[in-house]
A and B are shown apart, each in its own frame.
Chain A
Amino acid sequence: MTIALSAPRWRPPVWWPLCVMLPGLALAFALSLSSFSLFGLGWMDMWRVLIDYDPTSIKHQVLVSLRLPRALVAIFVGASLAVAGLVMQGMTRNELASPSVFGVSAGATLTFALSATGLWPGLSALPIVLVTFCGAGIAGALVFILGGLHRAPINPVRVVLAGVALNFLFLSLTRAIVILADENAYGVFHWLTGSIGNATFADVRLVIPWTLLGLIAAFWLSHPLNLLRLGEERMQNLGGGLGRVRWLGSLTVILLVAAGVSVAGPVGFVGLMVPHICRFIVGQDYRLLVPMCSLTGAVLMLLADTLARGLRFPDDSPVGILTTLLGAGFFLVLARRNRANVA
């Protein structure tokens, strides 16, 4: 009697989605650079910019000084917001957590509006990332306390309701500030939805260091977040410091949201959608989820911005209206599925 031993089937390594996402990012980047332009930009123009840059050509100028910073900002903002959402979901163990649902983005936007409209001159003198950092921090702390996250058993719905109310409050305040400063209701849209239409290299330089810092911190947190997935008590039994993770995680989230909002405004729901998509693809391991989320967030943001540009071509539309529309539908699906978590 022989026992037939089937040879173990070859399986792709766990990091294969990353290998797919990297070329995807390059493709989305190229698409975002070349599509929907009044100057008829094509793939050949991009190639020529690379091999033979001609400063007198209008096409080359458009590509390098308008399109390139915009695409770069999209990449970094998308990565920041997606990873911020991932870390929030991991820390609160609440699948509805994200910067836009909990009002953290709205808090950052409020201080951004206060500073940019000059209604509070002292605030305008400070660097913008510091200002949005404070706003996001205050909003985050409020959600933390009002949602009862500091007490042991967390009710997921309670946190969401507190976050929604705070979101509403900050949004109304931002609206009031913009109307007081502008006397123009239409301008409010562009403030409340998030847009990267006017991104410059100064914005790119502003967002890169904070995003990278935040991403590194998130990567460092991935092991503790894996432990936390087992539950607070188990994590402490296994030697993980719960308090330290919460502090560092909150700081990371606030930093990433502040970086994103400072250059793009509150681009909604990226942080809610992307972690769920990534979990579906790579599973629950945060060591894979952090890089996967940053790549997917960047791709989503690039594609959304490209689409937003084409919506009302040749006029530009804010990218936030597209992500918000998509994300609100996503939120609805999650809210219906949430029944198991509501005890």
Chain B
Amino acid sequence: MTRLLCSAAGLLATLLLFAAWHLGAGAVSIALPDLWQTLIRGHPDYDFIFWDYRLPRLVIASLAGAGLALSGLLVQGVVRNPLASPDILGVTGGASLAVVVTTLAWTGAPVTLVPFVALAGGLASAGLLLWLARSQLHQPTSLALIGIALAALFAAAIDFLLTINPLEINSSLIWLTGSVWGRNWSHLPLLLPWLAVLLPAAVYLAYQLDLLSLGDDTAISLGTRVGRVRIAALLTAVVLASAAVSVCGAISFVGLVAPHMARFLVGGRHVRLIPVCLLLGAIMLVSADLFARILMPPIELPAGIVTAFIGAPYFIFLITRYRHW
């Protein structure tokens, strides 16, 4: 328990540190005392930048990161596969593809529709994956392989559509790599309700997932409805990932790496993993967005590129460590 509290406190401090840096750094840099003043009483020079530009971006980045990390945790818990995550299994790719198709086919589509479209795409691709891999579900590596192939197919289709029908640069950037650029308060309602509903659901499922990790037979004899838990957890994971995708595009590797780091910090029990995982996901995306902005000002990279810098080497490290070939 002390370990959980210590890690959570440390991570919270790290998140606050990055948040302050994120709010302060940029084309107009705001010093820490000014930042504090803007937050408490308002500041004539910085009010607009702080409240309308940087704060929404920070909030969106941390919520999306937390959602992706939680989604990855649930997926890994269900398929008991350390290499699984919504992006590797093609769920985020399917959600992005659905959004791109909709925006191209229906130019005046209302923005409130986007999360539902992403959700439909994510669910469809998850269903497709499970159907394609139905005879190999017990083999972690072949599930990952089919997921990767599916993700490659979705990525190719997105590239194809964007080349045939050039969108504005902002949206192509978001659907290509994932980015928090230009996100504002109007995007918050697309993300927050899903998290608010699904976080309690995830906590409720956590105990069942712990039982599931003992193996199907043990879980059944302890009174778990294995099939129902699996479906509920997978659905929760897909919805979380799709909500994040509908706002930020397909940000890669957060859902894969955050659960592993969390397990390293607090062990394998899901009830403990959830808060740590949320914090880690938020830290990853906030810091990625921060570095994407300050690396080469005034040019901004998409945050998805920076998460790939961190995530891809970690994934390779996982592959070389994974013993059950």
Chain A-chain B contacts (Cβ-Cβ < 8 Å), number: 139
Report the minimal beta-carbon distance from B142 to chain A, rounded to whole angstroms: 5
* Chain A residues within an 8 Å CB radius of B166: 186
Across the interface, do B308 and A172 meet the contact criterion of CB distance under 8 Å?
Answer: yes
Interface residues of B in 142-160 (CB under 8 A from A): 142, 144-146, 148-150, 152-153, 155-157, 159-160
Interface residues of A in 248-273 (CB under 8 A from B): 268
Bound CA–CA A336/B176 (angstroms): 26
Instruction: Report if B222 contacts A (CB, 8 A).
Output: no
Instruction: Report if B320 contacts A (CB, 8 A).
Output: yes
Report the minimal beta-carbon distance from A93 to chain B, rounded to whole angstroms: 16
Report the minimal beta-carbon distance from A268 to chain B, rounded to whole angstroms: 8
Most buried by B among A192, A327, A328, A342: A328
* Chain A residues within an 8 Å CB radius of B152: 328, 331-332
Report, as a range, how many residues of chain A touch the other chain.
35 or more
Across the interface, do A161 and B156 meet the contact criterion of CB distance under 8 Å?
Answer: no
Interface-facing stretch out of A9-17, A110-118, A129-137, A311-319: A311-319
Across the interface, do A158 and B145 meet the contact criterion of CB distance under 8 Å?
Answer: no
Chain A, residue nearest B152 (CB): A328
Across the interface, do A185 and B176 meet the contact criterion of CB distance under 8 Å?
Answer: yes
Instruction: Report if A206 contacts B (CB, 8 A).
Output: no
Across the interface, do B146 and A332 meet the contact criterion of CB distance under 8 Å?
Answer: yes
Partner of B312, one of A169, A193, A268, A324: A169
Interface-facing stretch out of A78-86, A174-182, A280-288: A174-182
Bound CA–CA A322/B36 (angstroms): 53
Partner of A193, one of B139, B142, B163, B309: B163
Instruction: Report if B132 contacts A (CB, 8 A).
Output: yes
* Chain B residues within an 8 Å CB radius of A192: 159
Instruction: Report if A43 contacts B (CB, 8 A).
Output: no
0 or 1 for each of B294-322: is its CB under 8 Å from A? (1 = yes): 00100101101100110011011001101
Partner of B316, one of A165, A175, A318: A165
* Chain B residues within an 8 Å CB radius of A175: 176-177, 302, 305
Instruction: Report if B169 contacts A (CB, 8 A).
Output: yes
Across the interface, do A325 and B144 meet the contact criterion of CB distance under 8 Å?
Answer: no
Instruction: Report if B141 contacts A (CB, 8 A).
Output: yes
Across the interface, do B312 and A166 meet the contact criterion of CB distance under 8 Å?
Answer: yes
* Chain B residues within an 8 Å CB radius of A329: 153
Report, as a range, how many residues of chain B touch the other chain.
35 or more
- Knowing A176-B301, A176-B305, A335-B149 touch, does A146 contact B319 (C-beta < 8 A)? yes
* Chain B residues within an 8 Å CB radius of A172: 177, 304-305, 308-309, 312
Chain A, residue nearest B309 (CB): A172
* Chain B residues within an 8 Å CB radius of A311: 164
Chain A interface mostly helix, strand, loop or mixed? helix
* Chain B residues within an 8 Å CB radius of A180: 296, 299, 301
Across the interface, do A321 and B315 meet the contact criterion of CB distance under 8 Å?
Answer: no
Chain B, residue nearest A182 (CB): B299
* Chain A residues within an 8 Å CB radius of B135: 339
* Chain A residues within an 8 Å CB radius of B169: 184-186
Chain A, residue nearest B83 (CB): A161
0 or 1 for each of B223-262: is its CB under 8 Å from A? (1 = yes): 0000000000000000000000000000010000000000
Across the interface, do A335 and B146 meet the contact criterion of CB distance under 8 Å?
Answer: yes
- Knowing A146-B320, A162-B316, A186-B172 touch, does A179 contact B299 (C-beta < 8 A)? yes
Chain B interface mostly helix, strand, loop or mixed? helix
Partner of B155, one of A166, A185, A189, A328: A328
Chain A, residue nearest B164 (CB): A312
* Chain B residues within an 8 Å CB radius of A335: 142, 145-146, 148-149
Across the interface, do B163 and A318 meet the contact criterion of CB distance under 8 Å?
Answer: yes
Report the minimal beta-carbon distance from A314 to chain B, rounded to whole angstroms: 14
- Knowing A161-B319, A332-B153 touch, does A189 contact B312 (C-beta < 8 A)? no
Report the minimal beta-carbon distance from A151 to chain B, rounded to whole angstroms: 11
Report the minimal beta-carbon distance from B3 to chain A, rounded to whole angstroms: 30
Partner of B145, one of A161, A168, A173, A312: A161
Across the interface, do A155 and B325 meet the contact criterion of CB distance under 8 Å?
Answer: yes
Across the interface, do A336 and B163 meet the contact criterion of CB distance under 8 Å?
Answer: no
Across the interface, do B148 and A164 meet the contact criterion of CB distance under 8 Å?
Answer: yes
Bound CA–CA A175/B133 (angstroms): 32
Bound CA–CA A193/B150 (angstroms): 18
Instruction: Report if A183 contacts B (CB, 8 A).
Output: yes
Instruction: Report if A128 contacts B (CB, 8 A).
Output: no
Bound CA–CA A321/B152 (angstroms): 12
Chain B, residue nearest A153 (CB): B325
Report the minimal beta-carbon distance from A68 to chain B, rounded to whole angstroms: 25
Supply 12 further A-B pairs (C-beta < 8 A) apart from A161-B144, A331-B153: A157-B142, A157-B145, A169-B313, A172-B304, A172-B309, A173-B309, A186-B169, A311-B164, A317-B164, A327-B156, A331-B149, A338-B142
8 pairs of A and B residues whose beta carbons are closest in the complex: A172-B308, A169-B312, A328-B153, A335-B149, A332-B149, A157-B141, A328-B156, A328-B152
For this complex, 16 residue pairs linking A to B, each with C-beta atoms less than 8 Å apart, are A155-B325, A158-B141, A161-B83, A161-B144, A165-B319, A172-B177, A176-B301, A179-B305, A180-B296, A183-B299, A185-B172, A185-B176, A192-B159, A329-B153, A332-B150, A332-B152
